[in-house]
């Protein structure tokens, strides 16, 4: 009876292993198809926002059914991922992100308030497209350095905000400005952010320059530092992180190839040893045979 139980347990284990292997094989073969489906689903959700769709009950229902079909396909896919990976799925941040998006999509299907968040399903492309995933991983890796650049940016903003508020605070009350750009510190911060994006910075500068001809020096230095130097510094940090991720991937591939070469060498050496042992055994038998013939 115990033997039967052990055999049944072994068969159940083999069946589970077969199912997991089958799921893994299907997942591997359908990766490109899933990418196309995610992109197609994102396009259909964008089209459904047009008035000729949303105001037509028939077309709106058709697009809702199409969206539900996509969601069912993605749910089956994530269930197969869980079957293949098991609890190890929760150790992979990208798969956890994928799972959370699918769960949120089911909630959005039943709750009208968060239906707009269905488009988050398009973000699953990040996990599927290697180039996009590399960039996101690089951004995550450089968060501490970007935070340092952000602190530097804030310090520059604060210095110029206090300076400009002190110098140009009264210009609006005196009628020299059409808006209160520098009346308070918070208003100056917002104006500086607007100027950093190069939005109307020359227009603001000319209004102030009509009263203070030397004001262009302050505005120009701020735009140069904030818009060009700081932004380029952030870009340089991100590019460095991307190149570092690529270098790590190349090193990982080199290590894997070296490991495969070492395994192949050890395997070949093992074969050589077996061949030598067989030759030794053969020679030993020949020697024993010749010794017996001499004795006779």
Q: What is the pLDDT of residues 163-181, one digit of tens each?
A: 999 999 888 888 888 888 9
Tell me 181's DSSP state.
S
**To which H or E segment does residue 122 belong?**
none
**Contact in structure between 210 and 176 (CB atoms under 8 Å):** yes
Task: Report the percent of the chain where pLDDT is more than 70.
Answer: 75
- Highest average pLDDT, of 224-233, 257-266, 287-296, comes from 224-233
Model pLDDT, residue 158: 94
Q: Note the pLDDT of residue 7.
A: 47
pLDDT on residue 122? 76
Q: Which residue has the tokens 């047009």?
A: 50
Could you report the per-residue pLDDT of 242-264, keeping only the tens digit for each? 777 777 777 776 677 667 666 66
Query: What is d(CA 251, CA 191) in angstroms, rounded to the nearest whole number?
Result: 47
Gap between the Cα atoms of 195 and 221, Å rounded? 11
Which tokens hold the place of 211?
């009263």
The position carrying tokens 């090193």 is: 251
Give residue-wise pLDDT tens across range 173-212: 888 888 889 988 999 999 999 998 888 888 999 999 989 9
pLDDT score recorded for residue 276: 62
Mean pLDDT taken over the chain: 79
Q: In terms of residues, how long is the chain?
A: 296
C-alpha of 46 from chain center: 22
- E strand or H helix at 114, and its extent? none
Between 146 and 219, whose confidence is greater? Answer: 219
* Cα 128 to Cα 81: distance, rounded to the nearest angstrom: 13
Q: How far apart are CA 87 and CA 100, in angstroms?
A: 15
Q: What's the pLDDT score for residue 165?
A: 92
In the chain, what percentage of residues exceed pLDDT 90?
Answer: 10
- 238 contacts 139 by C-beta, under 8 angstroms: yes
Nearest 10 degrees: CA dihedral of 77, 79, 82, 83?
-100
Confidence check: pLDDT of 3 > 50: no
Binning pLDDT at 50, 70 and 90, where does residue 28 land? confident
Q: What is the pLDDT of residue 219?
A: 92
Which band of pLDDT confidence, cut at 50, 70 and 90, is reported for residue 295? low
> How many CB atoms sit inside 10 A of residue 197's CB?
10
Q: Which two tokens stand for residue 110?
A: 């039943």
CA–CA distance, 259 with 248 (Å, rounded to integer): 16
Q: Work out the average pLDDT over 280-296.
A: 61
- pLDDT score at 188: 92
Q: Which residues contact 120 (CB under 8 A, 6 or more apart)?
A: 101, 104, 105
Q: What is the mean pLDDT of residues 137-157?
A: 84
CA pair distance 277, 274, nearest whole angstrom: 5
């Amino acid at each position: 009876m115990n033997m039967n139980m052990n055999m049944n347990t072994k068969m159940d284990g083999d069946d589970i292993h077969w199912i997991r292997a089958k799921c893994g094989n299907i997942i591997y073969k359908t990766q490109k198809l899933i990418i196309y489906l995610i992109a197609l689903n994102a396009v259909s959700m964008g089209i459904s926002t047009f008035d000729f769709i949303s105001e037509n009950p028939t077309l709106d229902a058709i697009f809702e059914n199409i969206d539900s079909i996509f969601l069912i396909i993605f749910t089956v896919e994530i269930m197969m991922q869980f079957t293949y990976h098991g609890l190890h799925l929760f150790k992979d941040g990208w798969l956890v992100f994928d799972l959370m998006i699918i769960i949120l999509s089911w909630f959005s299907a039943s709750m009208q308030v968060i239906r707009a968040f269905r488009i988050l399903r398009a973000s699953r492309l990040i996990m599927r497209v290697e180039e996009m995933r590399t960039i996101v991983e690089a951004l995550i890796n450089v968060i501490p350095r970007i935070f340092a650049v952000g602190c530097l940016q804030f310090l520059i903003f604060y210095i110029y905000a206090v300076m400009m508020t002190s110098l140009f605070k009264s210009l609006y009350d005196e009628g020299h400005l059409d808006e209160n750009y520098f009346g308070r510190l918070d208003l100056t911060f917002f104006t500086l952010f607007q100027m950093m994006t190069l939005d109307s910075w020359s227009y603001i500068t000319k209004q102030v320059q009509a009263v203070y001809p030397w004001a262009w020096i302050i505005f120009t230095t701020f735009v140069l530092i904030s818009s060009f130097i700081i932004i380029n510094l952030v870009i340089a940090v991100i590019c460095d992180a991307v190149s570092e991720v690529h270098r790590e991937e190349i090193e990982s591939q080199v290590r894997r190839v070296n490991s495969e070469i070492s395994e192949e060498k050890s395997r070949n050496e093992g074969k050589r040893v077996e061949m030598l042992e067989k030759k030794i055994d053969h020679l030993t038998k020949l020697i024993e045979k010749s010794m017996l013939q001499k004795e006779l």
